Amino acid sequence: MRKSLPILVFLLFISSFVTGQSLKSIGPWDIYYAVDLVQGKNGRVFLSTSGGSYYSDNQGASWTKTKGDFNSIYYEASMTKDRDGNLFTWTFNNIYYSKDNGETWSFMIPDLTNAPKFSALGVSGDTVFIGTEKGLYYTTSLDFFSPVTEVVALQDQTITAISVTGKRVIAGTQAGGVFISEDNGKTWQDKATSFPPSKQITCLSVSGNKLFVGALFDGIYYTEDWGDHWETRNTGFSNPNIYDIFIDDNTMYVASNNKAFTSANDGNNWNQIYSEANYSTAQTIWAQGDQIILGRWHGVMKSSDGGQQWTEALTGITGAFGYTSIQASDDGSLFAFATHTGIYKKEPGSELFQAFQKTGGGYIGRGPIANNKVPMVGNYSIAYYDAITGAKGEEISLHTDSKWINFADVLVTTPQGLFLSTLQDGVYHYDGTWKDYSNNLTSTSMNDLVLVDNTLYAGNDDGLWTTDITENNWKKINIDANNPDAKFIFVQDSIFLVSTSYGFYRSGDYGKTWRSVENVSADGKIVAYKDRLYAPAISQIYVSDDRGKTWLSTTDLPFYFFTTLAIQNDVLYVGALESGILSAEINKEQEINLDMVRIPEGGSPAIHASSTSGLPITLTSSNPDVATVVDDTGEGYSLKVLKDGEITIEASQKGNLFYRPAKTQQTITVAYITASESSKTNGVTLYSNPGNGIYNLTLPDNITTENQYVTVYDAMGRPVLYRSQKIDSDRYLLDITGAPAGVYFLNVRHPKLNATLHFVKE
């Protein structure tokens, strides 16, 4: 009986080593903003900031970071308490609560459809009211996964503030409503119908039967009958943007713009107790007697004498900022645009980012740096600064003929003027005056704006849109049947890439047809550098080498929220919510070593492959019909030969964020060896083959047994012990019954020949 058995001609061993790759933080340092101050039990004061939550047991003289899982991830939420002093806060869509004055924290996950972003909390007994960007909800459970009920009367409202006194629940909205429920949330009535339409409620404060309501642009409203009649309390405010109201006994404290005020007569008259030349918005305030703590966009100030003298109260924190853009100027400087804080600059030759221009709070958008002019797209204006000197130049107000443009985001410069997308108000065009440029847009919540030649592309919560810059006639581009939103847009020649809440989409024909792309997301603008694309995301920076068709991820990146990136001279600069700006060397070349060793006499058959990057190697055969590469599950790789022929072995490494892809090849000839009843080479014969371990070995007539040397190897090239018995001058019995079944090689060396043949033990 004949049997065919492929011979293991080569073994492939992959050696791997790890070369450390990391992102290092390069600033800015000690920059954070305060969000909220709340009174705990036993005199403890809690402060939530963009750099985490802290508490003080000595009225702000020193601070300790609050324990709790919410401090290990991005956190900038406000904090509240119930009537028993239990504390509540949130991060993303989890609610954290503490019943022991902040020593330990538990958390719950409200079961909310589509998980709208939280914006406020209030607690009434066992009921937790959850304000979101899309309405008000409540739950009566603190279970790990808690069911919630929607308040229909506030459906689709953005809730900005919640106050609870007994069964009376008060909710302020971004649209200016002040909704009051007298029955713990069962029924609601809007009590602010007489307010002017431009108001935006920011805070609520209750003292007895007195309700004070703070608003943007409109100051303070006051009622003693829970909203049936209102009065204003704005005497003394030059620019009444109210961010926080705190009442200590009968004294009111207000944080407003870059100032703080106090009143001893319910706001009829105000006394300014704090002012700052560097416009830093006073965001939150707390007081007890003469002790006052003021939280700002650029840190915390403290006064121990009723506001006459102030000192910094909390230092040494790196805030968790988002970055909307990192760009280069003509001289090679890099500018990072940080939300709510300002612009930071890294000069050529410097390693760190330093403050360039700060803002007093509010969202900072992104605009192009051109002609050494750096635009700050802020709350009230677009101001241009000289990239070298920092001197302020032209400033364009963001006020139309009838209103302020809210939440300016993306600025595009064209010969026809400026185009500006906003987070809530659609798109505007400026050619000396601002005009609404949102015709046909079905959503004014904009995400991105891109100019290609004379065509604008805009992404909003209702999809991808386009218009000629001269027409103001937006048309929707259908990407997917799910009608996804469009977050970030990238255009390069005919290639369009769009990130959405449903995934990532690509078009190769100018947006006519689209396909979804797997294994990639983008939480910031996609950047092209040399021949690669880079996409920042949560805990990942994706890389594409084929113009967005496929994307690579990089293992072991730190868990940061990457929001924007720039690349300069093969160095990556990336903005992260938790750690400022980080950098790393990228685009590095790697070399692959492929060492193919044929089966030697007494040697070990192997192919060694490794990369200078230490990244794993992929091995492939050019002709799988001849031979295939087999993964031996942790033991390396083997080449399975199927028939005679020539193949090319390719060793490749696809690269990652730090390294470019690389590959190398070698061509070899392989033979498919068939076992037969006898093997014969140069007159040396071995039979029966295959056999049970005992074989007849016959030598040529001119070879004497005294001068020959016989060695047996296994398929790995390792010598095998055997026994032999001489039958006559040219014949032996060869015994390897102690060896396992498999393929073996017999080598006979003599001054007159050197012969190798194979045989099989069953």
- The pLDDT value recorded for residue 297 is 76
- The pLDDT value recorded for residue 599 is 41
Closest to 742 (Cα-Cα) out of 677, 675, 678 = 675
Q: Considering its fold, how many domains does the chain have in total?
A: 2
Is 748 in the same domain as 706?
Answer: yes
Q: Which position has the higher pLDDT, 573 or 482?
A: 573
Cβ–Cβ < 8 Å for 736, 724: no
Whether 127 maps to a domain, the answer reads: no
Q: Which of 92-101, 560-569, 601-610 bottoms out in mean pLDDT, i.e. has the lowest?
A: 601-610
Whether 754 maps to a domain, the answer reads: yes
Cβ–Cβ < 8 Å for 142, 129: no
Tell me how crowded residue 391 is: count the other CB atoms within 10 A of its CB: 9
- The pLDDT value recorded for residue 20 is 41
Cβ–Cβ < 8 Å for 500, 481: no
Average pLDDT score, the chain: 84
Q: How far is CA 65 from the centre of its chain?
A: 25
Q: Which of 122-131, 236-245, 414-423 bottoms out in mean pLDDT, i.e. has the lowest?
A: 236-245
Angle CA 674–680–685, to nearest 5? 125
Is 652 in the same domain as 699?
Answer: no
Burial class of residue 356 (count of CB atoms within 10 Å of its CB; 0-12, 13-18, 19+): buried
CA distance 258 to 80: 24
Q: Work out the pLDDT band at 377, boundaries 50, 70, 90.
A: very high
Written as six digits, the tokens of 585 are: 């060397």
CATH number at residue 605: 2.60.40
- The pLDDT value recorded for residue 721 is 76
Residue type at 355 in one-letter notation: A
- The pLDDT value recorded for residue 303 is 95
Specify which residues 528 forms β-bridges with. Answer: 533
CA distances from 443 to 12, 250, 365, 426, 439 (A): 58, 45, 19, 7, 10
CA distance 330 to 337: 17
Specify which residues 679 forms β-bridges with. Answer: 686
Q: How many helices (H) and strands (E) does the chain have?
A: 0, 71
Examine the pLDDT at 254 and tell me if it is beyond 50. Answer: yes
Examine the pLDDT at 271 and tell me if it is beyond 90. Answer: yes
- The pLDDT value recorded for residue 11 is 30
- The pLDDT value recorded for residue 362 is 65
Specify which residues 681 forms β-bridges with. Answer: 684
- The pLDDT value recorded for residue 722 is 78
- The pLDDT value recorded for residue 403 is 84
Burial class of residue 122 (count of CB atoms within 10 Å of its CB; 0-12, 13-18, 19+): buried
Domain-terminating residue out of 641, 670, 699 = 670
Q: Work out the pLDDT band at 123, boundaries 50, 70, 90.
A: very high
Q: Which position has the higher pLDDT, 127 or 703?
A: 127
Q: Could you report the per-residue pLDDT of 584-598, keeping only the tens digit for each?
A: 999 999 999 887 544
Whether 684 maps to a domain, the answer reads: yes
Whether 93 maps to a domain, the answer reads: no
Q: Could you report the per-residue pLDDT of 449-480, keeping only the tens digit for each?
A: 999 999 999 999 999 999 999 999 999 999 98
- The pLDDT value recorded for residue 426 is 96
- The pLDDT value recorded for residue 626 is 82
Closest to 614 (Cα-Cα) out of 571, 579, 647, 659 = 659
- The pLDDT value recorded for residue 581 is 87
Quote the percentage of the chain above a pLDDT of 70. 86
Q: Which position has the higher pLDDT, 721 or 705?
A: 721
Cβ–Cβ < 8 Å for 102, 55: yes
Domain-terminating residue out of 648, 670, 692 = 670
CA distance 165 to 184: 10
Whether 273 maps to a domain, the answer reads: no
Is 720 in the same domain as 755?
Answer: yes
Residue type at 37 in one-letter notation: L
Coil vs helix vs strand at 706: coil
Distance between the two ends of the chain, CA-based, in angstroms? Answer: 13
Whether 396 maps to a domain, the answer reads: no
Q: Which position has the higher pLDDT, 705 or 266?
A: 266
- The pLDDT value recorded for residue 29 is 55
Whether 714 maps to a domain, the answer reads: yes
Going by DSSP bridges, is the β-strand pair 342-346/723-728 parallel, antiparallel, or unpaired?
Answer: unpaired
Cβ–Cβ < 8 Å for 708, 748: yes
CA distances from 325 to 339, 449, 490, 525, 536 (A): 9, 13, 14, 8, 12
Is 660 in the same domain as 709?
Answer: no
Q: Mean pLDDT over residues 33-52, rounded?
A: 87
Q: Mean pLDDT over residues 262-273, rounded?
A: 94
- The pLDDT value recorded for residue 17 is 28
Q: Could you report the per-residue pLDDT of 624-656, keeping only the tens digit for each?
A: 888 888 776 555 666 777 776 778 889 999 999
- The pLDDT value recorded for residue 329 is 93
Classify the phi-psi angles of 556: left when phi > 0, otherwise alpha if psi is within -120 to 50, otherwise beta. left
Q: Could you report the per-residue pLDDT of 287-298, keeping only the tens digit for each?
A: 999 999 999 877
Closest to 352 (Cα-Cα) out of 582, 23, 541 = 582
Quote the percentage of the chain above a pLDDT of 90. 49
Domain-terminating residue out of 626, 653, 670 = 670
- The pLDDT value recorded for residue 606 is 52
CA distance 269 to 678: 113
Q: Work out the pLDDT band at 28, boundaries 50, 70, 90.
A: low
Residue 655 sits in which domain range?
Answer: 592-670
Total residue length of the chain:
762
CATH number at residue 733: 2.60.40.3080
Cβ–Cβ < 8 Å for 227, 191: yes
Whether 636 maps to a domain, the answer reads: yes
Torsional sign, CA 682, 687, 689, 691: negative
Where b means 16+ CB within 10 Å and e means fewer, 509-540 reads eebeebeebeebbbbbbbbebeebbbbbbeeb
Examine the pLDDT at 2 and tell me if it is beyond 70. Answer: no
Instruction: Dump the DSSP string for 431-476.
Output: SSSEEE--TT-S---EEEEEEETTEEEEEETTEEEEEETTT---EE
Residue type at 576 in one-letter notation: A
Q: Which of 64-78, 148-162, 605-619, 641-655 bottoms out in mean pLDDT, i.e. has the lowest?
A: 64-78
Written as six digits, the tokens of 572 are: 């990556």
